[in-house]
Structure 1
């Protein structure tokens, strides 16, 4: 323990408070941490640390400090109020139970204790303190609001407020009447005033958040909804609105606890379940999404949005016929629902039915012209021709100040693709860079974490002697894993293999890597593979087969194009000795440029938005493949994309043989395969194999300096000579 004198402690505290007031939280925490290291029994320090973590949206990190502060200062209401706020903002049952148990034993005044306890009592409704005479006048205003006579309601509420200037209920009514008339600034001011007059009333803050959302002021709306949840952690509408606002700001993981809490509090309300379904879908947890959406449909089968979300989820799970049925039901209920119109277009697109998809995409663009993602999705299978109005439409939206950053990302990628179709290569990169920079702003990425993860994984794998003894009882299932970097040609290679009559193309199942990561995970560390019991490895193979059978019950042999499987190649081979691994390689310049030009599913491939990170990430991919090459070189087969497209028949024959399959001519005509393809290559794999994408990097070499630097010695020697 570092010793500090009283004077030194005071100096740290004073400096920390100044930094905290200036919102320099990291610097303030540094001072507080030094104080805690020297003396962990200063309640004010724990309290201030908790304030910072709660304010910056990390309430879970505030909890231990609040628990410490409460133990040191058990009769201080401010500590318990902040603890209640942090618990409300975690929305976690365990945190709530811990708080309530400590609160029950606290020495707080009974009235304070009861009010804090009531916040977490389901069904408890906070009743603002309103004098009888004011209550009577409030009742006269309510019929005016219901009759939509908002001007009269505003006048009456203003009159009431002039006579009762500290009546929060009157201010809330006045703000609502003003909001209904479009007087947004006045309404915002008065909702804030009502919340300040009665901080325990969640209604003004919940109302405030809703009008801020409508006004496009999302960050302010988030703060309002957080305040409402703090005041009333069991108020389902506030929880729902906060989850929705977080979803809109792409805080998908953070939104989940609030939607889950709302669903627990009111199982009869379909809305929290619908939100959960959407959040699970965005996290690619389609099984959970399906489960909650089926519950929502059981409660309210005629909700068009729920039908459309179920269709979207089932399409991701490969249950395409049922998905189409749900899309059609949604369109029957609400013909102009963008989610259903655009969803049906996307499903038809993944099925290769491009001509059928186009009118649905066109209709979707008409219904939601400000949605950049719809344009981007449409252009995946639409080749722009000179004079196509879609280009000017996108550029106008991209340049419109009212366009949100999220939509500008979609438009940016769409414009770049359209300009490339038109061979206007010199105009592509400005849009591409803006789109990637905006996407990176929303989802920042630290490539150092990737390097650390790969290093930890390889240490784990190196704890075993390779190839070593087989694992007794390992699965006899033999999937064909197609793995490599995104946009390297993995979809094409899988399409070729899946064109064989004995193989079912399962696409990106995202099962194997998750099972491998789960098996090796322990308290933020990576377990040594050499320490795992053989039974655990056997169970991995069994669990993989179980999940595959849920999706493809009758398939004798499947391809699995989950690209992260190369990370766990050795472990998966131990669990399934009959598995085959095909690693697809492509010139890193073309490969990484192609990644940079495309937008991936939200929350995935976050390294893709930085040219430097792309180069660094490729280095880790190369490192892992070389690790396996040095230990088990005969456990995988490599396909070089450039060689495949230059000599399709010769390379395809070698590929099919490497998969342990007899030759079939259909494998040479993989573009005629009608199976579903749910990747960015959905259009390309329906075309005959072509060399058109080779050396595309040369068009943009002047923009790729950061990527080249990061690639370093992995950069092909002809890079600068190619110009």
Structure 2
């Protein structure tokens, strides 16, 4: 046997050991072409033909991972698919294929690949997790939850699965469950900066701001370049009335990421600008960027509007304010049909006779008693909640979206029914779920204020589910309300009517009509309080307010500005000051620029 043939056979054996059977097979065939009687080549070829490779070699897998980590997704996908043809029963390859599809945004194909991996290996925790991520990114949250829970069942020490599950719980407004998930994430991964930041957000959603601040600080101590966590620290300090601290944290976020538009906007809400402020030129530079996304454009326009308001540049103020509102309306894709249809359906429901909950059904339930503070946004609801929650028997829960979510669920169910009727069982369920949500607050007070302003739309539902409820309705000069709304950026995807003069005036008119409807339907059940009268005659109005709420007099309600409770709304800084009587006249300084709005409001 020649030295060349020996070398070929040795090479073929090495290839066989490494799992490259096809390459080894071609070498043996080449040897046999030249030496048909070579027994060693015949023997090895026979073994190879009898052996069926069931999994790819490490070298093949390393090649795919190198392409994936280099962001060469199409090549990685092509290579993986080629390997799947050779090894159709290897779950790892389907998991890799799904990961590639996810990276290029082909989530339907990704989901299919992950499901095939799981079918081949039902205990494949990573594939369950990756499938959960794909479902989460396509907003199939219930399916995503099932996948994360399965991954955690198979491998409880799975920090990223706990973290992602917590994010979904936050999105589904279940912060108590989110806290548990994030706590598991950091327990298994003590250096998980993102999970600490998310845990802070969950505590903040539960109004536990001191705990939120601790978690955010842990996050930035682990990752000192975590701009988002610094921004969240700023938001927490703002809610706690720690304005100087808030400014420092927002500035830290911007120092890390000068293009962080949301941090610029948040900073603009807590500082007073001078002409020489360097942040102004930075924001203008950001706005000139051609690649700026719509959300960042909106943030910067609203921030620059605040700058020019501080500098008394009214024309520039409205240039940026009008543009920010225009972009926000487009972003939310808002139509007046949205609220007009809802209000029409609600009127129809409550124009018919509906059941009321009997007292005998309420025995043994959660004893928390809510006070609902409603009205138009920017009408003074935060001020009234600050006054009432300064009473030692009351806890101020700020804006709770629970009633809105529960009633929208009822409305959705009714839309598929022939009759627009609600049963006593529905109201009892609503009552139970709402009171259950209040138990998330770890507090001793029996009375809780809920000041979601737009609950004015759901007064019929509230009084049907809570016949004993106290409802406080804020009334204020329409021009003051609507001007304050127009210059305000609302977080979340609601209030789409707030970003256009015509829409704003139309919604205000609809609000008045619906409140008149509720007053006629529930006489003496809604307590109206004038913001202007409250600021002029604070003591008498406060006495009457507390009396209506069945609360004894407390001097602390007059000194509401000393209340240290956290306030999440835009009025956080105002309610930490004594009552100011001139705020309802501030719109007049801008009268020339908001004439169309004022004219539209005259019809109401």
Distance across 1 between alignment mates of 2:431 and 2:572: 30
1:436 aligns with 2:325: yes
Distance across 2 between alignment mates of 1:506 and 1:396: 39
Give yes or no for contact 1:384–1:421 (8 Å, CA) kept in 2. Answer: yes
Please give the per-residue CA displacement for 1:605-631, whole angstroms capped at 9, x wherever unaligned.
Answer: 233334333233323322221111112
Q: Secondary structure at the match of 2:580?
A: coil
Distance across 1 between alignment mates of 2:289 and 2:24: 48
Distance across 1 between alignment mates of 2:260 and 2:435: 39
Report what 2:533 is aligned to: 643
Change (3 A) 1:386 1:453: same
Distance across 1 between alignment mates of 2:308 and 2:82: 56
Give yes or no for contact 2:98–2:114 (8 Å, CA) kept in 1. Answer: no
Give yes or no for contact 2:357–2:467 (8 Å, CA) kept in 1. Answer: no
1:287 aligns with 2:172: no
Distance across 1 between alignment mates of 2:78 and 2:228: 38
Change (3 A) 1:227 1:571: closer
| Bigger Rg over Cα | 2
Give yes or no for contact 2:234–2:250 (8 Å, CA) kept in 1. Answer: yes
Report what 2:209 is aligned to: 320
**Equivalent of 1:263 in 148, 154, 158:** 148
Q: CA deviation at 1:238?
A: 5.9
Please give the per-residue CA displacement for 1:358-390, whole angstroms capped at 9, x wherever unaligned.
Answer: 222211111122121112222222222332222
The worse-fitting range, judged by mean Cα deviation, of 473-482 and 600-609 is 473-482
Q: CA deviation at 1:634?
A: 0.7
TM-score using structure 1 length: 0.64
Q: Tell me which of the two structures has the higher relative contact order, counting C-alpha pairs closer than 8 angstroms and 6 or more residues apart.
A: 2
The worse-fitting range, judged by mean Cα deviation, of 339-348 and 281-290 is 281-290
Report what 2:281 is aligned to: 392
Q: CA deviation at 1:257?
A: 5.3
Distance across 2 between alignment mates of 1:555 and 1:300: 36
1:544 aligns with 2:544: no
In the TM superposition, 1:64-463 aligns within 5 A as: 132-133=22-23, 180=70, 206-207=99-100, 210=103, 221-222=104-105, 224-233=106-115, 235=127, 239=131, 242=134, 246=137, 254=139, 256=141, 259-260=144-145, 262-264=147-149, 266-267=151-152, 268=155, 269-282=158-171, 284-463=173-352
Report what 2:444 is aligned to: 554
Change (3 A) 1:242 1:596: farther
Report what 2:31 is aligned to: none
Distance across 2 between alignment mates of 1:563 and 1:630: 20
Q: Secondary structure at the match of 1:479?
A: strand
Q: CA deviation at 1:490?
A: 0.6
Distance across 1 between alignment mates of 2:500 and 2:580: 28
Q: CA deviation at 1:497?
A: 1.3
Give yes or no for contact 2:132–2:146 (8 Å, CA) kept in 1. Answer: no
Give yes or no for contact 2:532–2:584 (8 Å, CA) kept in 1. Answer: yes
Change (3 A) 1:644 1:577: same
Say what the alpha-carbon RMSD is for the aligned residues: 3.9
Structure 2, unmatched stretches of 5+, are 1-19, 27-58, 86-93, 118-126
1:678 aligns with 2:580: no
Distance across 1 between alignment mates of 2:428 and 2:97: 56
Q: Secondary structure at the match of 1:481?
A: strand
Give yes or no for contact 2:374–2:451 (8 Å, CA) kept in 1. Answer: yes
1:578 aligns with 2:468: yes
The worse-fitting range, judged by mean Cα deviation, of 603-612 and 387-396 is 603-612
Please give the per-residue CA displacement for 1:516-542, whole angstroms capped at 9, x wherever unaligned.
Answer: 444565253589786523x65445444
Please give the per-residue CA displacement for 1:546-599, whole angstroms capped at 9, x wherever unaligned.
Answer: 332331441132221122332332442344343211111223333233223222
Report what 1:524 is aligned to: 415
Give yes or no for contact 2:176–2:440 (8 Å, CA) kept in 1. Answer: no
Change (3 A) 1:243 1:337: farther
Report what 2:6 is aligned to: none
Report what 1:627 is aligned to: 517
Change (3 A) 1:388 1:232: same
Q: Secondary structure at the match of 1:581?
A: strand
Give yes or no for contact 2:132–2:144 (8 Å, CA) kept in 1. Answer: yes
Report what 2:379 is aligned to: 488
Give yes or no for contact 1:520–1:526 (8 Å, CA) kept in 2. Answer: no
Give yes or no for contact 1:504–1:557 (8 Å, CA) kept in 2. Answer: yes
Distance across 2 between alignment mates of 1:243 and 1:432: 38
Change (3 A) 1:465 1:577: closer
Distance across 2 between alignment mates of 1:431 and 1:488: 24
**Equivalent of 1:602 in 479, 492, 516:** 492
Give yes or no for contact 1:593–1:697 (8 Å, CA) kept in 2. Answer: yes
Change (3 A) 1:433 1:536: same
Distance across 2 between alignment mates of 1:407 and 1:134: 58
Please give the per-residue CA displacement for 1:392-451, whole angstroms capped at 9, x wherever unaligned.
Answer: 221211222233222222222212122212222211222223333333333322321221
Distance across 1 between alignment mates of 2:329 and 2:207: 30
Distance across 2 between alignment mates of 1:480 and 1:337: 39
Change (3 A) 1:135 1:699: farther
**Equivalent of 1:498 in 389, 392, 395:** 389
Change (3 A) 1:175 1:573: closer
Give yes or no for contact 2:97–2:113 (8 Å, CA) kept in 1. Answer: no
Q: Secondary structure at the match of 1:558?
A: strand
Distance across 2 between alignment mates of 1:514 and 1:502: 27
